[in-house]
Chain A
Amino acid sequence: AQSVTQPDIHITVSEGASLELRCNYSYGATPYLFWYVQSPGQGLQLLLKYFSGDTLVQGIKGFEAEFKRSQSSFNLRKPSVHWSDAAEYFCAVGPGGYQKVTFGTGTKLQVIP
């Protein structure tokens, strides 16, 4: 069965610092991978997705993620964090069928001045 692990429950970074959120997945074939962000009181917004091709994926709001098959990882990065990036981030994996998308438990990002 597919699964997603986000090992960091909570991360605190200073505004302007770089950010990397970890995501490890378990899936038997090439997965579809997603990162979503959930701001307080809001629904989930898609940041980026990987289906195939270039393993470095660019998303909205200056985020990028890199698919590393050898490490079963899809880490999310941003070179310089803004206070408005404070939110919860969810990694998700699926085989291409929406019914089977599995979400990680989320990483809550706090940004300090």
Chain B
Amino acid sequence: SAVISQKPSRDICQRGTSLTIQCQVDSQVTMMFWYRQQPGQSLTLIATANQGSEATYESGFVIDKFPISRPNLTFSTLTVSNMSPEDSSIYLCSVELAGGPDTQYFGPGTRLTVL
């Protein structure tokens, strides 16, 4: 497995502002992903963070709203831009390890509340 950390663990933000969430892994991984877990709902994949290139977004998610960076094989950031109360969610980073195909390991999540 891998140790995955996220910062911040939680935050309360004002409408219209932006928040950047960091995800750090203790080993090099090929695949990193960002998920959203809205209150009382399941996980929804936002995008795949690609190292050295633009992220691959799922339907319903756009780069202007959720810009993602992946400067190396152990680190990624997700920014939630121009926030509204509907963005209040838990945001989770996950990774797929080499030798563990199709098995994802998740970070502890960032609980975001937008007022």
Q: Chain B, 84-115, contact with A by CB distance < 8 Å: what is the 0/1 string?
A: 00000000101010000111111111000000
State whether A44 touches B102 (Cβ < 8 A).
no
**A: contact size bracket:** 20 to 34
With contacts A98-B31, A98-B33, A98-B96 taken as known, whether A44 is within 8 angstroms of B45 at the C-beta atoms is no
Please tell me if B53 contacts chain A, counting CB pairs below 8 Å. Answer: no
Q: How long is the Cα–Cα vector from A45 to B106 in the complex, in angstroms?
A: 7
- Assess whether B104 is in contact with A43, with CB atoms less than 8 Å apart: no
Q: Is the interface of A mostly helix, strand, loop or mixed?
A: mixed
Q: Which residues of A contact B (CB under 8 A)?
A: 32, 34, 36, 41-46, 49, 51, 90, 94, 96-99, 101, 103-106
Q: List the interface of chain B (C-beta within 8 A of A).
A: 4, 6, 9, 31, 33, 41-45, 48, 56, 58, 92, 94, 96, 101-109
